[in-house]
């Protein structure tokens, strides 16, 4: 009768040759944790120095000594390789530059959102100027602008006047926007959408 081997008695040494993570969750966990210096497993590594030169396969301890002599870190850049690929570099500086680059990229990515300005068909000049000032702020920020005009009760008789107000708004904001949707009646509302010119 064959003897059963219990798990604690038979273990694979993952430091030398272990299976790559097979689930997406495992892969994400493995990538999230970058090994450096004494965290690097295995007796040997394929080394790249701080100048980007290939040094071939060297003992891990020798690679660590080289990094420390230069006041730098030994960083595992390709853990799935056998032996793993490691590079000598300033890890703190690399993290800082990567974070800075990420922040700059995020600043350039502006999510266009739709802002709303509400007007009335019989709006006076002062109120219209206030609404236009707010509308300009939205467009300058790179947001779409939806202009809504609500008709109540007797105001339904002023639809032509309402259209005139919409066209005036469109003309006043022509230097910052283009019309995505001309004024259109939706139930008891007149709706116009303007798209910012500075949006990609």
Task: Tell me how far apart the terminal alpha carbons of the chain are, to the nearest angstrom.
Answer: 73
What local confidence, expressed as pLDDT, does residue 9 receive?
A: 38
Mean pLDDT of the region 42-60 = 91
What local confidence, expressed as pLDDT, does residue 165 receive?
A: 93
Does the reported pTM lie above 0.75?
no
- 3-class secondary structure for 54-101? EEEEEEHHHHHHHHHHCCCEEEEEECCCCCCEEEEECHHHHHHHHHHH
CATH number of 114-196: 3.30.110.10
Mean pLDDT lowest for which of 4-8, 23-27, 48-52?
4-8
Taking domain 34-94, whether its CATH number is 3.30.2080.10 is answered by no
Buried b / exposed e along 122-138 (16+ C-beta atoms within 10 A): ebeeeebeebbeebbeb
Tell me: pLDDT of 5 over 80: no
119 DSSP β-pair partners: 149
Map out the domains of the chain as residue ranges.
34-94, 114-196
């Amino acid at each position: 009768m064959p003897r059963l081997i219990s798990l604690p008695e038979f273990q694979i040494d993952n430091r030398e040759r272990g299976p790559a993570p097979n689930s997406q969750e495992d892969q994400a966990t493995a990538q999230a944790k970058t090994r450096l210096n004494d965290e690097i497993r295995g007796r040997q590594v394929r080394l790249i120095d701080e100048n980007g030169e290939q040094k071939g396969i060297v003992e891990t301890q020798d690679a660590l000594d080289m990094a420390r002599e230069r006041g730098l870190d030994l960083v595992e850049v390709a853990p799935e390789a056998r032996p793993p690929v490691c590079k000598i570099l300033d890890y703190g500086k690399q993290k800082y530059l990567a974070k800075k680059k990420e922040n700059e990229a995020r600043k350039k990515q502006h999510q266009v959102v739709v802002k709303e300005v509400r007007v009335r068909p019989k709006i006076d000049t002062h109120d219209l100027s206030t609404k236009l000032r707010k509308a300009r702020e939205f467009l300058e920020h790179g947001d779409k602008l939806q202009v809504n005009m609500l008709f109540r009760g007797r105001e339904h008789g002023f639809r032509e006047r309402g259209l005139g107000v919409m066209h005036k708004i469109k003309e006043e904001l022509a230097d910052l926007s283009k019309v995505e949707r001309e004024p259109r009646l939706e139930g008891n509302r007149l709706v116009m959408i303007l798209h910012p010119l500075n949006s990609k």
